[in-house]
Amino acid sequence: MKALKNLIRLQQWRLDQSRLALAVAAEQLAAIQSAIAALDDEETLERQTASQSEAALFAFAGYATRLKQRRRALHDEQAAAEQAVEEAREVVAEAFQEEKKLEQALQTQIDRENAEAARREQITLDEIAATGHQRRQSGV
């Protein structure tokens, strides 16, 4: 039983580490999504500024090209981060299932030991009762 308890403790640690990795991946995804939103806001502001001046409008073309490249890079990072989050979720789910299996095995072992103890106690009580019955029958 002690070995199972140690395995459960180890699995709980693994589960905690998996959850931590998931949280980090989710934070990275949120940061990328925030960067995309900031880029969209920046583009809106630059478009407004460019519409007010012909010189700014001319310069906006080069800016738009770089903006497109930055957006594509961020979307690639976002896809990678989403994949990392999904993989981390799968690891957490697997670790959780493994922990539950170990806990169920421990509970089964405890139930068996309790049933065996109850059986031994019943045998002892039956022997005491039989001894008492024999004494009453023999008149002692």
What domains can you pick out in the chain, each with its CATH number? 2-138 (1.10.287.1700)
pLDDT in tens, 58-110: 788 888 899 999 999 999 999 999 999 999 999 999 999 999 999 999 999 99
53's torsion region: left (phi>0), alpha (psi -120 to 50) or beta? beta
Which pair of tokens denotes residue 134?
Answer: 């024999």
pTM (predicted TM-score): 0.75
Assess contact for 116 and 57: CB atoms under 8 A: no
Instruction: Provide CB contacts within 8 A for 96, sequence distance 6+.
Output: 15
The residue whose two tokens read 């998996």 is 18
Which pair of tokens denotes residue 128?
Answer: 């005491």
| Model confidence at 39: pLDDT above 90 | yes
